[in-house]
């Protein structure tokens, strides 16, 4: 018995040492995958809107107040979820935005995300010149052409190279808060029921994902929507009392229909597309559990304009790690960290389906 316990002890010790060694290797810039390509909206944007004619930009203080480089275009006081995910995967530097990515750095990934962008082309256009998901796909084709030239006559084709990369897709928020639930400017809520709209969005997204697949992508992390009725922007719009609560619940129910469809889409694509692996990150589930659920959620950390974006050089809260929302829509660095870490390594079986990003990297 004593010898068995001793053997078990040494096996456990070796396992812990190897796990620690892997984390150290990742931390010093030996990523688990060669590249990370990012598609989405302001929850992932790291500067693509900075020089565009749009109100959807965050390259000014107090945005970035806790980020080493200051304001970069991230809608956060610090990092966003993709930054945290990249760090956990072992990337030494953040993934560059398409707007500034040049030369060989595109081989480690490109971030195409654009604030206010949506799955639908019309989404976000009322805020100016943003980059829709379809346009992001066109930008990726430019990158693919550049990778072709960079790889040249090497033994690995562009398709082979891209098949080893992770493709993160986090989009759909603006198709709801900026489109379906914005009837003053858009008619989608009068055309579609909530169930129909979720189906339409997931079908269009499936076609966009197929475009990526045809260009060589094989590892996909699809990030679901959070409970959008809870964000300060929508709470302010819904008002207080029983009517306000019903309004919040209505928005949350609508976005949950999209999430159910997205998870189902993951299962379908895993079955139908050869050598492709799709995973679903349950952002709303992660959001509803500690530590996020225990943070201040009824107000934004920064002083906001129209309950939406931070007032330039406006006031901010001092205890930012205690707040859920940075502005009227976006999480704080502390909350993004939880999303990114649990997307990378699930802490609950419901965090990811069929498994997390760490396992996706090893496929």
Residues known to be catalytic: 42, 327, 330
Residue 331's nearest CA partner among 81, 86, 65 is: 81
Burial 137-173 (b: 16+ CB within 10 A, else e): bebbeebbebbeeeeeeeeeebeebbebbbbbbbbbb
Report the C-alpha gap between 330 and 108 in whole angstroms: 26
Which pairs with CB-CB distance under 8 Å and at least 24 residues apart come from 201-204? 201/119, 201/120, 201/172, 201/175, 201/258, 201/261, 202/258, 202/261, 202/262, 202/264, 202/265, 204/119, 204/120
Report the C-alpha gap between 179 and 192 in whole angstroms: 12
**Is residue 53 classed exposed, middle or buried when 0-12, 13-18 and 19+ CB atoms within 10 A define those classes?**
exposed
Report the C-alpha gap between 326 and 17 in whole angstroms: 38
User: Which pair of tokens denotes residue 259?
Assistant: 């999430």
Report the C-alpha gap between 34 and 94 in whole angstroms: 13
Q: Give the single-character DSSP code of 117.
A: -
Opening angle at CA 262, ends 299 and 95, nearest 5: 65
Residue with tokens 């489109």, as numbered in its chain: 179
Longest dimension (CA), the chain: 74
Which pairs with CB-CB distance under 8 Å and at least 24 residues apart come from 229-233? 229/255, 230/297, 231/177, 231/325, 231/328, 231/329, 232/298, 232/299, 232/300, 232/304, 232/307, 232/325, 232/327, 232/328, 232/329, 233/177, 233/307, 233/308, 233/328, 233/329
């Amino acid at each position: 018995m004593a010898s068995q316990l001793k053997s078990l002890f040494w096996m456990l010790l070796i396992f812990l040492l190897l796990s620690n060694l892997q984390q150290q290797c990742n931390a010093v810039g030996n990523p688990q995958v060669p590249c990370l390509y990012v598609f989405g909206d302001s929850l992932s944007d790291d500067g693509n809107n900075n020089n565009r004619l749009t109100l959807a930009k965050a390259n000014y203080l107090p945005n970035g107040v806790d980020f080493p480089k200051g304001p970069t275009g991230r809608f956060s006081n610090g990092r966003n979820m993709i930054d945290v995910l990249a760090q956990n995967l072992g990337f030494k530097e953040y993934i560059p935005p398409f707007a500034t990515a040049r030369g060989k750095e595109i081989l480690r990934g490109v971030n195409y995300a654009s604030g206010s962008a949506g799955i639908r082309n019309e989404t976000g256009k009322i805020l100016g010149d943003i980059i829709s998901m379809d346009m992001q796909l066109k930008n990726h084709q430019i990158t693919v052409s550049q990778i072709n030239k960079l790889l040249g006559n090497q033994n690995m084709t562009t398709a082979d190279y891209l098949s080893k990369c992770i493709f993160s897709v986090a989009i759909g928020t603006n198709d709801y808060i900026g489109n379906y639930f914005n009837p003053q400017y858009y008619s989608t809520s009068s055309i579609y029921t909530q169930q129909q709209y979720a189906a339409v969005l997931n079908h269009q997204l499936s076609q966009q994902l197929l475009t990526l697949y045809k260009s060589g992508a094989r590892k996909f992390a699809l990030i679901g929507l959070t409970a959008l009725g809870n964000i300060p922007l929508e709470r302010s719009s819904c008002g207080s009392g029983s009517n306000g609560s019903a309004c919040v619940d209505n928005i949350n129910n609508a976005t949950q229909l999209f999430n159910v469809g997205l998870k189902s889409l993951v299962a379908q694509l895993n079955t139908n597309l050869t050598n492709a692996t799709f995973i679903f990150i349950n952002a709303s589930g992660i959001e509803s559990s500690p530590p996020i659920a225990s943070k201040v959620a009824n107000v934004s950390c920064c002083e906001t304009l129209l309950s939406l974006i931070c007032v330039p050089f406006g006031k901010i809260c001092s205890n930012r790690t205690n707040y859920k929302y940075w502005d009227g829509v976006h999480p704080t660095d502390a909350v993004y960290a939880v999303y990114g870490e649990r997307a990378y390594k699930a802490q609950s079986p419901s965090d990811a389906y069929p498994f997390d990003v760490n396992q996706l990297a090893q496929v």
